A and B are shown apart, each in its own frame.
Chain A
Amino acid sequence: MAGTQLERRQSAADVSLIEQARRRGLRYNLRAYTMVFALLAIWLALAVATQGTFLEPRNMSNLFRQTAINGYLSIGMVFVITAGHIDLSVGAVAGLTGAIAAMLQIRWLPALGTQLGVTWLQPGWPSTAISIVVALILGTVIGIWQGLWVAHGQVPAFIVTLGGSLVFRGSILGITKGVNIGPMNPTFQWLGQAYLSAVAGVVLAIAAVALIIAYTFVSRRNKLKYEFPVKPLWAEVGLAAFYSGLAIGFVVIMHRYRGVPVPVVLLIVIAALFAFVFSRTQLGRYARAIGGNLEAARLSGVNVRRAIVQIFALMGVLGAMAGIVLTARLNAATANAGNQFEMNAIASCVIGGTSLQGGSGSIPAALLGALVMASIDNGLSMLNVQAFWQQIIKGLILMVAVLVDVKSR
């Protein structure tokens, strides 16, 4: 066979491989699009039922704010569930880390300051910074500790985190003595309650657009460098314009009320960061490999134990994140803060198509799931539906979402 002919056929085969990869990507995206359509349908229904109030900027702002805390937890939960495990302790971790932050700011740091005879440990931005850092470290340590139980102790994660949640809930009660700890310093409250100013909002929008354009440009250049086929230029420009439009529109709508809520900004940043970790780093790959086929992963040289500890550590940091923002929003730490948060996080992941068998999951889809859950909560409250119906409806939606997912696979 002539060499040139063979080569031509081979490179044609490569092109078709990539072409089909893209087409498959489209089909995969179709599933994500269904999620988007489902969310839009729910929004439309609620808008009609509330005569448009649901879609007003004020309510949209509330909706996203309500999504934020569950969003942090859902992001971590995607890693844990994809690796084939579960974490039932995230609500308690959020509660405990939030309580520790509040205790530090309101009791411990001022007391320490008095003892040392310094004033800068009184509530103020330094004490806010210390409280946050300590809470984040505590969350990480808790995560590592539970991860060690799972990875090295071979105790099922269900049990480790069930026991862990009791340990942490008990600790909260012991530390706070059951009373609310508050109010927080305004610098702390800012994290949960503030909105970006108009200037900051414009900066955010510009930054988002710049990132979208840069990403499109860099990935196109890299593809060209490796001689992979690229989409036509107009398609790339169009896509980038679409996403930029979304980002700008979002900021504009938020500013028609008070601006982008700070917890939502945090959510966007964290989501972007961890979506990257999930899809582009070794840890993300290993999480999927471990959940997909533990034996194959082990025999392929994956350090399974280390990866599991890392995943639980990551979940712990995000749990602490949720705890800090929750305390900031409520302006106090309470004994039952974070109750049932784990269930919302798991439900968001599952509605977003993360397989409880492990092996596959998606952070954007889990966030869409979190938005679906928050929309139902928010919309039904606006309609004055009694709380018990809200629970029943949320439960049924979770079950139907998984049924649809299972049947469509």
Chain B
Amino acid sequence: MLYGAASLPTFRRGGGAALTLGSQKRVSKWGRAVHVESGVLLDIRNVTKDFPGTRALDDVSMEILEGEIHGLCGENGAGKSTLMKILSGTHPYGTYEGQILFAGEPVRFAGIRDSEARGIRIIHQEMALVKQMTVAENIFLGAERARYGIVDQMKLYSETRELLSRFGLNVPATAFVGTLGVGQQQMVEIAKALRGHVRLLILDEPTSALNDSEVESLMTTLRELRNAGVTCIYISHKLRELFDIADRITVLRDGRCIGTRPTRDVTEDDVIAMMVGRAPTGRFPPKTRTAGKVMLSVRDWTVRNPENKELYAVRGVSFDVRAGEILGISGLMGSGRTELLQSLFGEYGFQPSGEIAVEGKECSIHSSRDAIALGMALVTEDRKNTGLILMHSVIHNMTLPSLPDLSNGAVVDTNSELASTLGMVRELNIKAPSIESRVDTLSGGNQQKVSIAKWLMTRPRILMLDEPTRGIDVGTKYQVYELMDRLAASGMAIVMVSSELPEILGMSDRVLVMHEGAVAGIVGADEASPERIMSLAAMGAQEGAQKGA
């Protein structure tokens, strides 16, 4: 028994049918008797997980049945990833409340090794393969078939072929992973996960980088795995895929489990309603702004992915933003929102095409410097990697884009630097031990204020905000909203990308919904509803929903 063939469960498949399975005795790999009740493989009971300042999971209970494909969906930040990290042991036992039963036994994972020993495997959105190694070498990485440290190549490749053919994975064992397409790489990831003793396979947004035909063959593979008895949790917010493949669907929202439904009993609209839930109330400041002249006008903006030049990150996007207006951009993860902002800012994309006009004047932007010179500013979504220099002080982070304005010639005028930083710290009410503190010692909310402040110091006329309230507490969120309204009222044009529907609805004067890089629709504040936006985001513009491969 080399990669757990004998331990793969061979239960009957099917959602409804599994419910009727009686309890039964089985001898596990470790020789102990395992008590499997009612075909429930995984039983999550009242799990609560807190992060500083936020509750990521709130009393979540759900069951995964043996042999089913269980769809899990919810808005970004609903708690899906946190739950999966608990299941994989990334958040170890003791850092959360509640109980998890796997195959009838309570489990307390201290780390990923523990969950893997039980047969739980996660395939993440980002693939973790070594591109310079072959398929077989990747699959057996860390579990080489070796004797005295010498790898047995023949055994390696024969076992890989056997594994690949048993699950119908169509990948050559000797090919270098770097030469494979993204879809085939995904197959390698799956094969790697199936190498050991697997009882539960978790796929996190597996199709985000796949094209239509690759998605189709992934679906086929998953069905075959189900036939082979592998239980699967399929996380996605692409409803069409979930309805295609899942036996049952569970919806999470704001860290709570909203419910689990057999797929055949619900419609896409039902699931959308479960995902969006309540209407926003009282969490947003009143609007004091009025729209003026058009500040930024984008026509037919198309951008290719620099890493895969055949893929379009943004396709034919056109929109206007006016002074005193907040344009919200909504869409699912991977719909091209961030790429749109970064490409307009001159810092993303292969051969962008289309037209940009600032205050009616046509212009070309080749770098962030051009954009800044035109009065544009971009607060990026990822503070740690693209927004701030974590090891540097508040003051040096804040003045970086405006140093030329704060200098006499090449020499920085440290007094005016200090004065303007203090002014900004006061205006945005930034709480820091000192302006010389490293920004990584600040809370998320204050870090976000620093990243906004650094751009306000350039006195922009067009402010683009990418996920302006991600990872910050409710109080700071409200302050950011107030600031946005104040800035817009003072004549700034604001473009805000957000994954939070309430935020989009509460703050935007108009909402641009993106779907697969294109505009699915632009909706005015008065006609925007959670359902309207979610269906545009999940299914695209109704008439153009079905796009060819």
Contact = CB atoms under 8 A, between A and B. Distances in A.
B403 interface: yes
How many B residues touch the partner, as a band? 35 or more
A272 interface: no
B134 interface: no
Query: What are the 4 A-B residue pairs with the smallest beta carbon separation, nearest first?
Result: A20-B434, A292-B389, A21-B436, A293-B389
Contacts of A197: none
A285 B412 contact: yes
B432 interface: yes
Interface in A140-169: none
A302 B369 CA distance: 7
A302 B436 contact: no
B418 interface: yes
A296 B389 contact: yes
Interface in A280-324: 280-283, 285-286, 288-289, 292-293, 295-303
B432 A17 contact: yes
B411 interface: yes
A24 interface: yes
Contacts of A289: 389, 392, 396, 400
Interface string B356-375: 00000000000111011000
12 contacts: A18-B435, A25-B436, A228-B418, A280-B412, A281-B411, A281-B412, A282-B404, A285-B400, A289-B396, A296-B388, A299-B347, A359-B389
Contacts of A281: 407, 410-412
B422 interface: yes
Contact of B392 (A17, A228, A280, A288): A288
Contact of A14 (B368, B369, B390, B422): B422
Interface of A: 10, 13-14, 16-21, 23-25, 222-223, 225-226, 228, 280-283, 285-286, 288-289, 292-293, 295-303, 359-360
A223 B372 contact: no
Interface stretch (B51-59, B113-121, B378-386): B378-386
Contacts of B367: 301, 303
Interface in B405-426: 407, 410-412, 414-415, 418-419, 422, 425-426
B141 interface: no
A226 B415 contact: yes
B434 A300 contact: no
Given A17-B432, A282-B410, A222 B386 contact: no
B385 A293 contact: yes
Nearest to A288: B392
B127 interface: no
A17 B435 contact: yes
Contact of B347 (A13, A16, A18, A298): A298
B437 A24 contact: yes
Interface string B447-485: 000000010000000000000000000000000000000
A197 to B, nearest CB: 34
A184 to B, nearest CB: 35
A14 B425 CA distance: 9
B544 interface: no
Contact of A292 (B391, B419, B454): B391
B450 to A, nearest CB: 12
A21 B435 contact: yes
A29 to B, nearest CB: 12
B434 A21 contact: yes
Nearest to A276: B411
A360 B436 contact: no
Contacts of B392: 288-289, 292, 359
B387 A296 contact: yes
B404 A295 contact: no
Q: Which of B400, B425, B434 neighbours the largest number of chain A CB atoms within 10 Å of its CB?
A: B400
Contacts of B345: 299
Given A19-B434, A292-B389, 13 more contacts: A17-B432, A23-B434, A25-B436, A222-B415, A228-B415, A280-B412, A300-B368, A300-B454, A301-B367, A301-B369, A303-B367, A359-B392, A360-B391
B401 interface: yes
Contacts, number: 105
B368 A299 contact: yes
Given A25-B436, A299-B345, A17 B454 contact: no
Nearest to B425: A17
A24 B389 contact: no
Interface of B: 345, 347, 367-369, 371-372, 378, 380, 385-392, 396, 400-401, 403-404, 407, 410-412, 414-415, 418-419, 422, 425-426, 432-437, 454
Given A14-B422, A21-B434, A297 B389 contact: yes
Q: Which of B391, B407, B425 neighbours the largest number of chain A CB atoms within 10 Å of its CB?
A: B391
B390 A293 contact: yes
Contact of A282 (B388, B412, B414): B412
Given A14-B426, A303-B369, A297 B434 contact: no
A51 to B, nearest CB: 46
A285 B403 contact: yes
A18 B432 CA distance: 11
A225 B416 CA distance: 11
Q: Which of A21, A24, A298 neighbours the largest number of chain B CB atoms within 10 Å of its CB?
A: A21
A280 B411 contact: yes
Contact of B401 (A21, A292, A300): A300
Contacts of A223: 415
Q: Which of A10, A19, A25, A301 neighbours the largest number of chain B CB atoms within 10 Å of its CB?
A: A301
B454 to A, nearest CB: 7
Contacts of A300: 368, 400-401, 454
Nearest to A359: B391
Given A283-B410, A289-B400, A295 B415 contact: no
A297 B434 CA distance: 22
Contacts of A228: 415, 418
Nearest to A7: B426
Contacts of A293: 385-386, 388-390
A21 B436 CA distance: 5
A4 to B, nearest CB: 15
B169 to A, nearest CB: 36
A156 to B, nearest CB: 18
Nearest to B431: A13
B419 A226 contact: yes
A301 B399 CA distance: 11
Contacts of B407: 281-282
Nearest to A358: B391
A86 to B, nearest CB: 19
Nearest to B373: A301
Contacts of A24: 433-434, 436-437
A244 B436 CA distance: 28
Contacts of B386: 293, 295-296, 299
B441 to A, nearest CB: 10
Contacts of A280: 411-412, 414
A360 B389 CA distance: 11
B339 to A, nearest CB: 14
Nearest to A305: B367
A14 B400 CA distance: 21
A219 B11 CA distance: 79
Contacts of B437: 20, 24
A360 B404 CA distance: 21
A18 B418 CA distance: 10
A288 B433 CA distance: 22
